[in-house]
Structure 1
């Protein structure tokens, strides 16, 4: 079994050589036939010219007994109807008639070849006993044997070698930057992905490949940095409740007479609840960051907010929802965003929370506003970072995971929207913006579901 070359250079050179071989074979055969026909036809024309001249002389009665040779046409004879030689060139005098060929009266000129010599017979007149002029020469050297084919084959092999070498060199020059890219990529490891490849000059495919690879490495570097920060922050956030839980249990074990067991169990359950909340939120965040798709559906955002916003709690929640504000996405995830925002507002509000839903151009806008202390402008982006909890939030709810707003923003972004903390006359104001749809017919529902 023939092994197919693994190298792109070898495969390219082989492919180019095979195509060139096919083309050269076709051109070679065509050229051989054309050259043979042309050379032979020219040689026959030369012999026919000589025979025609002495045929005219025979009709005029001026042909000599010894006919002068004409270059390569050295055998010339005038033969009568009985095959007797009446006149001949010096080389043909001692020979019998060169051929028994006698052209008919309606076709006075005929050609014959035996593969070695070319013969032309011309009947002098149309009379029944008219003599015939025979002229003969050797076949041209180019047509003897396979000299022409040998010459064409040698030329084709030389061209084939040039094509293979040129293809190899061209592909080699093209792949040289790719080899440099491969060597550079081999130096990049998970522990150090800060290395980048030098972009070659120009805007060809290789330069575009290098730019794309560098951009991919930038994104990968940022993702790895985020994962490291996430792992460090997660370990820190998990370590605190675990350490507290361990301390309480060890204290209850070492000093059983001084510790209230019921209080220890309640504290342990509180720590376990915090751990459970953190782990659950981490799982949700991991699924969102991994891009796991949720089943899409059409949601009337106004109706969803009216149904899901809690009406009873520490402070009242007032809902102002416009009807027929349609969005496409995961109902469960949108409910989670709403619950996170409303619960966060209830935790920080002094007297009330306002939730509104409206359509603004091509967007559906959900606004959650409380009348609490608000968020300083410098902290409005920081609150969306994972495990970030401001002092007021820790004071009001020590058991939160610090992931609710981060999860809510990820859900908004996965739906093609945004979630921001914006200016408010009093308290905090969170604004969720999602792409809005018109009231769609059933077929559009199916189309949107297929796309998402």
Structure 2
């Protein structure tokens, strides 16, 4: 029959402590029992040998009294002839049969004896042959078998001690493991209360810096990141639905008007207006897909490329707009997605061209181990309070709406996402006139840079 394994960690550790304690304490108890028995036997036979030796010498000298005086703790003393008769004895051994019928051989006068005479009971004695002669007397000196060896009380006491210590070990393990796991139970209870609709709860952090406290800190950090991600998704969904609702409503209105009043509506104009609305919706959806891919892709990988050369290509493609002046202070190479960085440059330069009064300036250089690209226009600029707002999704300032009514409001948000996914940053910094966007990316050192295209326009 298979014994079910305890599910609780507390129970498992307690069972392990009980088994370990029983094994260790049983071994220690057995060693103690053996040591105690050995010492008792040795001490007993040493004392009986000493007394037997004294009276053996007295027998040879002929100075043995009729009643032999006992020498504590040896109180059983007998002198027995070759016929097995007790010739002399101590008071406690008088009138009894010989302590033993063992007679040591002539070549080995000492012999340890354990016997159980009927009158006296079990004894431990030392038998000494007085002389080598065949009719030599034998002196027996002994004591009744010590209680520690006779009645098993030593084993019972050791077994009781093993059980008590095992129980104490189990209790201590149960209490300590329970206290250790108490914070885990609190964390589990709090985690069960956290739902997708409410991620604001945090698990309790126990005092100290042990593994459980580190686990609680990590769990709270994970919950904070999860809450931020869910909040961003909710804001993103809300903003997207809000931005798409207007073109969808306009498209529906035009189509319904064309159906309800066919005589009053120009079909060609209605179709053109509907296509323009569809184009705006398609642009919004495309930008949303780009943001989704940036969240999940590894955009920082790729081959190194020349940032200045990329700027030249973008400026050439946008040559029909506001004039762009390019100034390169250092050739810098970066690593990443060339297409995505190009999109950042297109967004920044096109945005500057929309807001500039006469010119746009692009500067490429290196500063502190970073590639630095600045896009500056001479337009009205961006107020300090709006410098972070413009990077939020679907946020468009009043001037931006006026200059580009069909914009999606996602260009700068996508640009910052791309910059951060490449390990860089995109900010608006102070400028004497207009707005100054600054892109910073890590520089990659290359041994043989390729030739670049002209950089001025």
TM-score, L = length of structure 1? 0.86
Indicate whether 1:8 and 2:9 are aligned.
yes
Partner of 1:158: 164
Q: Alpha-carbon deviations, 1:243-280, whole Å to 9, x = none?
A: 11111222222222332322222222222222122112
Partner of 1:39: 40
The verdict on how the C-alpha distance between 1:132 and 1:395 changes in structure 2, with shifts beyond 3 A counting, is same
Q: Per-residue deviation at 1:364? A: 1.5
Query: Separation in 2 of the partners of 1:73 and 1:438?
Result: 99
Unaligned 5+ segments in structure 1 are: 442-452
Residue range with higher mean Cα deviation, 151-160 or 295-304: 295-304
Partner of 1:432: 439
Indicate whether 1:223 and 2:229 are aligned.
yes
Partner of 1:383: 390
Indicate whether 1:412 and 2:419 are aligned.
yes
Query: Separation in 2 of the partners of 1:288 and 1:138?
Result: 95
Q: Per-residue deviation at 1:112? A: 4.3
Q: Per-residue deviation at 1:406? A: 1.1
Partner of 1:28: 29
Q: Per-residue deviation at 1:157? A: 1.0
Q: Per-residue deviation at 1:322? A: 5.4
Q: Per-residue deviation at 1:385? A: 0.6
Q: Per-residue deviation at 1:7? A: 1.6
**2:277 alignment partner, SS class:** helix
Query: Separation in 1 of the partners of 2:348 and 2:88?
Result: 124
Equivalences for 1:342-357 in 2 at 5 Å?
Answer: 342-357=349-364
Partner of 2:276: 270
Q: Alpha-carbon deviations, 1:65-93, whole Å to 9, x = none?
A: 44334456444333456766543335265
Q: Alpha-carbon deviations, 1:4-31, whole Å to 9, x = none?
A: 2122221221222222222212212222
Indicate whether 1:300 and 2:296 are aligned.
no
The verdict on how the C-alpha distance between 1:301 and 1:27 changes in structure 2, with shifts beyond 3 A counting, is farther
**2:315 alignment partner, SS class:** coil
C-alpha contact (below 8 Å) 2:68/2:77 kept by paired residues? yes
TM-score, L = length of structure 2? 0.85
Indicate whether 1:100 and 2:107 are aligned.
no
The verdict on how the C-alpha distance between 1:137 and 1:342 changes in structure 2, with shifts beyond 3 A counting, is same
Equivalences for 1:41-440 in 2 at 5 Å?
Answer: 41-71=42-72, 73-79=74-80, 85-90=86-91, 91=93, 94-96=96-98, 98-102=100-104, 105=107, 108-113=109-114, 117-124=123-130, 131-144=137-150, 146-196=152-202, 199=205, 206-289=212-295, 291-294=296-299, 296-306=301-311, 308-311=313-316, 312-321=319-328, 325-439=332-446
The verdict on how the C-alpha distance between 1:281 and 1:122 changes in structure 2, with shifts beyond 3 A counting, is farther
The verdict on how the C-alpha distance between 1:242 and 1:21 changes in structure 2, with shifts beyond 3 A counting, is same
Query: Separation in 1 of the partners of 2:15 and 2:46?
Result: 45
C-alpha contact (below 8 Å) 1:87/1:93 kept by paired residues? no
Q: Per-residue deviation at 1:156? A: 0.8
Q: Per-residue deviation at 1:296? A: 0.9
C-alpha contact (below 8 Å) 2:348/2:412 kept by paired residues? yes
Q: Per-residue deviation at 1:419? A: 0.7
C-alpha contact (below 8 Å) 2:82/2:136 kept by paired residues? yes
Partner of 1:448: none
Q: Give the aligned length.
A: 439
The verdict on how the C-alpha distance between 1:117 and 1:368 changes in structure 2, with shifts beyond 3 A counting, is farther
Q: Per-residue deviation at 1:42? A: 2.0
C-alpha contact (below 8 Å) 1:367/1:432 kept by paired residues? yes
Query: Separation in 2 of the partners of 1:167 and 1:230?
Result: 52
Q: Per-residue deviation at 1:220? A: 3.5
**1:309 alignment partner, SS class:** helix
Q: Per-residue deviation at 1:163? A: 1.3
Q: Alpha-carbon deviations, 1:385-417, whole Å to 9, x = none?
A: 111111222222222221121122122222222
C-alpha contact (below 8 Å) 2:99/2:115 kept by paired residues? no
Query: Separation in 2 of the partners of 1:198 and 1:230?
Result: 31
C-alpha contact (below 8 Å) 1:305/1:321 kept by paired residues? no
Q: Per-residue deviation at 1:219? A: 3.7
